Chain A
Amino acid sequence: EPEVTQTPSHQVTQMGQEVILRCVPISNHLYFYWYRQILGQKVEFLVSFYNNEISEKSEIFDDQFSVERPDGSNFTLKIRSTKLEDSAMYFCASISTNSYNEQFFGPGTRLTVL
């Protein structure tokens, strides 16, 4: 069964450093998402991406964040200058328009900012 994959599974970085989190959505999916989940809290929407551009973003997704689909398969989330409060699980998800709103989530990347 096709699945969303994410790398790395765990990323440790120093405050102020740039990180890039990578996702490979399911190949025939058209809508892509990033979410974050701070330990013990709910899943929070960050951004949606369709047709090579951002569809919607939350107030969390400020100028420090960016997304890209550089090669038609990868979908990346970049955090330019990490803060301690960026420590969280980051989940990528994708949707096929054949299965309305059934989002397929990746296993997540645990980001730890020291």
Chain B
Amino acid sequence: LAKTTQPISMDSYEGQEVNITCSHNNIATNDYITWYQQFPSQGPRFIIQGYKTKVTNEVASLFIPADRKSSTLSLPRVSLSDTAVYYCLVGDFYNFNKFYFGSGTKLNVKP
């Protein structure tokens, strides 16, 4: 499993766009990138997943450069309720046996 590195914490203000970058230098050909959000005392919740280029859904965008050694989760116009820990996971598309959660990024959105 490719190891991931994320900033430990980030601060933002309501209404701003937030970009959280994850480094995964040892990503393998079959690996895809998934981001989860976790609120205190709750289980992680899937946000977005991608393999390359850009993926967008109703809550976020995921940018993956051509070398795939990093990825950036973009949250548009954050609100106080987006305060949470965000985890980047890298895993084999065909292997569901194990998933590694890194330390995550604690996003603190201020009013």
A interface, CB within 8 angstroms of B = 4, 31, 33, 35, 42-45, 48, 50, 55-56, 58, 89, 91, 93, 95, 97, 100-108, 110
Contact = CB atoms under 8 A, between A and B. Distances in A.
A95 B46 CA distance: 11
Interface string B76-92: 00000000000101010
Contacts, number: 65
Which of B32, B44, B45 counts the most chain A CB atoms within 10 A? B44
Chain A interface SS verdict (over half)? strand
Given A42-B103, A45-B100, A101-B34, A89 B41 contact: yes
Contact of A31 (B41, B45, B96): B96
Contact of A103 (B44, B97, B103): B44
B-side interface size class: 20 to 34
Interface of B: 32, 34, 36, 38, 41-46, 49, 87, 89, 91, 93, 96-104
